[in-house]
Chains A and B, each alone.
Chain A
Amino acid sequence: MLGNALLLALREIRRNVLRSVLTILGIVIGVAAVIVMVTLGDGATLAVTSNIQSLGSNLLMIRPGQRMGPVSGSGGSPFRLDDVAAVGRDIPAVQAVAPAATQSMTAVAGNANWSASVTGTDNRFFEVRNWTFAAGRPFTEAEVRSGRAVCVIGATVQKELFGLQDPLGQKIRLKQVSCEVVGLLQAKGQSTMGTDQDDIIVMPLRTYHRRLAGNRNVSLIQVTVREGESTEEAKGAIERLMRKRRHIDAHEQDDFNVRDMKEVANMLTGTTKVLTELLSAVAAVSLLVGGIGIMNIMLVSVTERTREIGIRLAIGALEREVLMQFLVEAVALSSLGGVLGIVLALGASVQLADLLEVPFIFNPRIVVIAFLFSAAVGVIFGYFPARRAARLDPIEALRRE
């Protein structure tokens, strides 16, 4: 019965190719939209996750000030160098501590100038950030200890100040200080916050304090937690230590914040997921609209083919056979739409992923779900017209022109 119904349905679809294509267009677009949204959403999530992993997922960032938005804090006095030493010394779970002080400054080289973020820190900065060198070297112990005027630059600074020239050995002037470029960092691209991570000049903290800042403040302490140690526990230990060192009473709030990069990662992927789900839901609405389109055409088709239905009933077709014929026709139409939608979506996803610079992730689950959903749309929206066809009175139906 099903084989025959399928045969009849395909004959009918073939008989009305243009109408069939127009009918399923809604389903095609709906399925394609859902799959594209999910695929791009998955890609964006992966992009965010790998971006954060490039920062180091066992990274804690301690900043002065209360926690405000997702990254910045405000208020609170800066840390001192002995705070940094205490974190490294008193908390066993800590693998590496890198103090940093940062400010934005105009850098000049030859007749090019560029405003970059200048960070004073030491070699552990590169370690906690998982940052490798494209050329040159990190600072030597002697340079760090004595505060020599040397710097390591990011890819953006290299491009803006030196263009195609080799930057190693060149001088960059910051305020009154002329420092020598000893290293070039591997390009990292944009951070998850949209800032350019490569727009950076790194120099020894001592140099920064003495020659540029005129104080000994530390605005950021970056900590990596040892493999196998809980970042949660390390974070708690750091908070207790800093409260003690900063003399915060039990009833007072922290005037600093410790941020776990895992939290940031979870929050950002969470945001991406919510956005993907929302967009997919909007796309799913077009599937619904597509289903209504199918119902509409099936109703027209039943009216148009009333006499045909009459003939079939007179010849001895059972009610359920006529029902099955029209239902199978609706499902065949909507499934065809689903298949076309999947093909269209995969093509579009590859193109769009390339355009939006997110990785293309083939998700077979969503393809299967989309196909089943489109078939279900055929069943749901095809049932009413099919039942109407099956319930026709053969005498009335035969009389109709």
Chain B
Amino acid sequence: MTEPHDPAPVPLVEFRQVAKVYGLGAASMRALDGVDLSIAAGEFVAVMGPSGSGKSTAMNILGCLDTPTSGSYRFSGVPVEGLDRDQRALLRRNHLGFVFQGFNLLNRTSALENVELPLLYRRTPRAERHAQARSALAQVGLTGWEGHTPGELSGGQQQRVAIARALVTGPRLLLADEPTGNLDSARGHEIMDLLTGLNRERGITVLMVTHEPEMAAYAGRVIHFRDGRVAEDGRPGGHP
């Protein structure tokens, strides 16, 4: 992707003066107010900030679910703000993985079928689909649970299924929105270990929203949002 002589490699994610305004006129609300941000491939970044600070909006734009009102967002050099709905869907399908606080698995659908879901949209042939989904479940330590539905799994297991679903396509960027928010601390640390492993061993860039400093401590870099701006950007354990 990058030229060998290129002095500055293209960052995986780059915000330039990104703003997001909801509503019109006097009732409008600036959720993001000119954010500059750059994340290189292979980073593990935690995003923190009080509610209403704009971190969710930033995550939605980073995840190509939403578009900025102004400014530019380049995903590995591609200007996302110029893409239409279907092009952004293809970008998500091919390069992004999502993990949500509420797991967001399909009910009454087996773990295997849940993990297969993104592969269905990628038209992966049946046999390959099964094999890849099994391997992804094995990576999150759920071998033997393939036939169980979310209702039959614990919270931690459900989040593992969700992570398996996010990584089954081999994404370049994994977006995790409070992945430990619904879990007890022990389960939470297990999930964090899993994410850290994926980041270190497979080189998947991880971007994680959290409000727990002990979870943010797993990250190599912590970004604090406040009032729609980046308030702090540095190593974990710095000043809150």
Contact = CB atoms under 8 A, between A and B. Distances in A.
B21 to A, nearest CB: 16
A312 B107 CA distance: 13
B98 interface: yes
Contacts of A11: 109, 113
Given A315-B98, A316-B89, A398-B100, A321 B121 contact: yes
Contact of A315 (B92, B108, B123): B92
Contacts of B85: 319
Contacts of A308: 106-107
Interface centre among A11, A317, A319, A320 (most CB of B within 10 A): A317
B104 A307 contact: yes
Nearest to B66: A395
Interface string A122-157: 000000000000000000000000000000000000
Nearest to A310: B104
A105 to B, nearest CB: 80
Contacts of A7: 120
How many B residues touch the partner, as a band?
20 to 34
Nearest to B87: A318
A314 interface: yes
Contact of A311 (B60, B66, B106, B122): B106
A318 B86 contact: yes
A151 to B, nearest CB: 81
B93 interface: yes
Contacts of A310: 104
B65 interface: yes
A316 B104 contact: no
A316 B93 contact: yes
B89 A395 contact: no
Contacts of B93: 315-317
A347 B198 CA distance: 61
A315 B86 contact: no
Contacts of B100: 398
Contact of A313 (B89, B122, B165): B89
Interface centre among A8, A307, A315 (most CB of B within 10 A): A315
Nearest to B96: A316
Contact of B117 (A1, A307, A315, A319): A315
B65 A316 contact: no
Contacts of B107: 308
Contact of B118 (A1, A4, A315, A320): A315
A311 B104 CA distance: 7
A394 interface: yes
Contact of B65 (A8, A319, A321, A394): A394
Nearest to B104: A311
Interface string B104-128: 1111110001000110111100000
A15 interface: yes
A7 B119 CA distance: 14
Contacts of B40: none
Nearest to A4: B120
A316 B106 contact: no
B76 interface: no
B94 interface: yes
A314 B92 contact: yes
Contact of B92 (A1, A316, A319): A316
A320 B84 CA distance: 14
Contact of A317 (B113, B121, B165): B121
Interface in A153-191: none
Contacts of B60: 395
B68 interface: no
A215 to B, nearest CB: 90
Given A307-B104, A308-B106, A395-B65, A316 B118 contact: yes
B30 to A, nearest CB: 18
A394 B89 CA distance: 10
B228 interface: no
Contacts of B29: none
Contact of A316 (B108, B113, B121): B121
Contact of B94 (A4, A307, A316, A317): A316
B182 to A, nearest CB: 14
Given A314-B63, A314-B65, A398-B100, A15 B108 contact: yes
A186 B69 CA distance: 93
B231 interface: no
B153 interface: no
Interface of B: 60, 63, 65-66, 85-86, 89-94, 96, 98, 100, 104-109, 113, 117-118, 120-123, 165
Interface of A: 1, 4, 7-8, 11, 15, 307-308, 310-321, 394-395, 398
5 contacts: A307-B104, A313-B89, A316-B89, A316-B91, A319-B89
